[in-house]
Every structure is written in structure tokens, then in C-alpha cells.
Amino acid sequence: MNNALPDEFGMYWVTADEMHKRLILSGVHRSLSLEMVSRALANNNAYQEKVALWDYGGKIWYRSKLVHVLNGENKDVVPLDQRFQRKAGPQKRLESCINPPRHYFVGKGNRHFEEINVALEVIERKKEQDLEEAREREQEERRREQILEEERERLIE
């Protein structure tokens, strides 16, 4: 999904956290977690096929593989709006440059976007159901304890 953003947003090196935030901003379902993005980057990016990786200043940065190849795979080439300092991390991080248009994917007919959102909605519903079941079990346990306590009191009397 990150690579499906407009080309002008693919040139920026972003962290997994920034990638997560930009996907949510672009319209991906809110249940997408940073952990999901991090796992996807670790498990589905063998040999940096989908996004280029750069370990710089103790942080791992990512950008579109297509842009990376077009730049001659030179990690020293960064957009003018994005400058780095080795000790201080990002010196200049312009939100308007990193973040794509709000709800960019909504209504665009992107198959991956629709599949991801459907899957995330299913995951969220499942979590809500599990939470509701846990609450019901907890309430049932409280009722049982209350009944046992009342029986004990009756036996003592």
C-alpha cells in the first residue's frame, strides 16, 4: 500500500511508525497496528523486493523500491526536504512532504486497499467479539461467586 501512494511521496525515507501513520491517513482501516506494519516489512520484504531498507543513525528507514532503483540505489540521495544528521536523527521532517493526501485510497478502486480494509475489519470484529465473550465470562464468574457466598452465609446461619 505504501508503494501505491503517489510517486512524489515514494521518494521519502520513512520509518515503520511513519509508514503506519501515513497508511492510516491515506484511508487504511484504523485497526492497522504498527506491529502489523513492522511484521509485514520483516516477513514480506525478502531481499528488499517491495521497499528499500536503510539503517541510518540507529533507525531503519524505508522507501519505495521503484524510486530507489530510479535513484541508482544510492542511499545518499535524499529529497531536498529531507535532511539527516547522524546524531540527532531527522533534522528536517516536513509532515506535508511525508504525509500523502488524506483518504487518498478511498474511492480509488484499489483492490489491495479494499482487501486490506476488509481483513482489518474482520480482525477488529473478532477482537470485539472476544472482548465481549471475556466480559460475559467474567460476569458469569462473579454471579457464581456471589451465589456461593450467599450459600456459605446461609450455611453459617
pLDDT in tens, the chain (157 residues): 777 787 777 777 888 998 898 888 888 888 899 999 999 999 988 888 888 888 877 888 888 888 777 777 666 666 555 655 544 444 445 455 666 777 888 877 777 888 888 889 998 999 999 999 999 999 999 999 999 999 999 888 7
Distances (CA, A) of 114 to 3, 7, 38, 123, 151: 15, 20, 20, 14, 55
pLDDT for 91? 44
Exposure pattern of 82-101 as b/e (b: 16+ CB <10 Å)? bebeeeeebeebeeebbbbe
Q: How many structural domains are present in the chain?
A: 1
- The answer to whether residues 19 and 37 touch, using CB atoms and an 8 Å cutoff, is yes
Domain of 122 in residue numbering reads as: 2-156
- Would the pTM of this model clear 0.85, i.e. be above it? no
Is 135 exposed, middle or buried (CB count within 10 Å of its CB: 0-12, 13-18, 19+)?
exposed
Tell how many helices (H) and how many strands (E) occur in the chain.
Answer: 6, 4
